[in-house]
Copies of this chain bind each other. A is one copy, B any other.
Amino acid sequence: MAKIGFIKLGNLGMSQVIDLVQDEIAAREGISVRVFGTGPKMGKDEAAATAELKNWGADFYVMISPNASAPGPTAAREIYKDVPCIIISDGPTKKEDREALEAAGFGFIIMTVDPLIGAKTEFLDPVEMASFNSDAMKVLSTCGVVRLIQEELDKVTTMVDEGKSGKDLELPHIVAKPEKCIERAGFINPYAKAKGLAALHMADMVAKINFPACFMMKEIEQVTLTTAAGHEMMRAAAQLAIEAREIEKANDSVFRQPHAKKGGRLMTKTKLYEKPQ
């Protein structure tokens, strides 16, 4: 029985499903999942509160938050530095910072493709927030990011199943750029893959549009126009991702990797009527 603990500080697109991806039909034996989250906020109080899940004694932890270099996530890492813990975030984008993470014993998957939301009161309300997350998830799921996360977590889980623990667990150190993610998507048709790659690049770029709107702009018209443009780009990226998957459906070549109920082995299938093997 592998025990996996998820700590969610604030929200990324991937936060929505990260605790689900290893057991998609909720029937996988030999795996136990617990999640502790702090909702939207990720300050020092929230960081301190995450200590709670440590008592559970998971075989390994996954800590997901925006901007892993921010004070909250940094404080939370202090708590988890002596247990196996994988940091999943949209940054740090600097190599030195990532090397420091690795040196401190953490695994990491830095997804520059998890898009920064247009978090301004003038634009974002709960509906727009949820709708944007839907678009983000369409790209993350279809274009390889969900599978990359799932495969990497499954690898560590397999090590646990094999009896490894603590420092013997080899944690991933991955910068999930568009070119890397798309290879995990399993597209058979090359144009579907190209569409998926373009969608990832667009998701990547959303941050470049929304960042100044979130942190620098003040004027209402500029703020709302810019964040709206960022969300339109995310919408367009989702649409490209949908197109890409439709091509694979049209060719009956959707690559699927469900987990076996017993043991959680990854099975594969591509034709819809085919049994997973």
**What is the copy number of this chain in the assembly?**
6
Task: Confirm or deny: A166 has a beta carbon within 8 angstroms of a beta carbon on chain B.
Answer: no
Distance in angstroms between the alpha carbons of A214 and B226 in the assembled complex: 31
Closest to A150 in B: B126
Q: Indicate with 1 or 0, residue by residue over A202-222, a CB within 8 angstroms of chain B CB atoms.
A: 100100010000000000110
Q: Indicate with 1 or 0, residue by residue over A137-167, a CB within 8 angstroms of chain B CB atoms.
A: 1101110001100100000000000000000
Out of B26, B189, B226, which one reaches A40, CB within 8 Å? B26
B138:A126 contact, CB within 8 angstroms: no
Count A-side interface residues using an 8 Å CB cutoff: 107
Distance in angstroms between the alpha carbons of A48 and B8 in the assembled complex: 21
| Contact flag A26-B119 (CB < 8 Å), given A190-B225, A190-B228 | yes
Out of B39, B189, B260, B273, which one reaches A220, CB within 8 Å? B273
| Contact flag A193-B225 (CB < 8 Å), given A130-B140, A258-B124, A273-B220 | yes
Residues from chain B with Cβ under 8 Å of A198 in the complex: 209, 229-230, 232-233, 236
B49:A40 contact, CB within 8 angstroms: no
CB contact list, A23-57 vs B, under 8 A: 23-28, 32-42, 45, 49, 52
Closest to A221 in B: B273
Closest to A260 in B: B121
Most B CB atoms within 10 A — which of A130, A237, A256, A260? A130
Residues from chain B with Cβ under 8 Å of A220 in the complex: 273-275
Residues from chain B with Cβ under 8 Å of A140 in the complex: 130
Distance in angstroms between the alpha carbons of A274 and B125 in the assembled complex: 14
Closest to A128 in B: B256
Task: Confirm or deny: A89 has a beta carbon within 8 angstroms of a beta carbon on chain B.
Answer: no
6 A-B pairs in the complex with CB atoms less than 8 angstroms apart: A24-B125, A125-B256, A125-B259, A133-B141, A190-B224, A250-B250
Residues on A facing B (Cβ under 8 Å): 4, 6, 8, 10-11, 16-17, 19-28, 32-42, 45, 49, 52, 119-131, 133-135, 137-138, 140-142, 146-147, 150, 189-195, 197-198, 201-202, 205, 209, 220-221, 224-226, 228-233, 235-240, 242, 245, 247, 249-252, 254, 256-261, 267, 269, 271-276
Closest 9 CB pairs of A and B: A33-B39, A35-B37, A130-B141, A194-B228, A26-B40, A134-B137, A191-B249, A16-B16, A197-B229
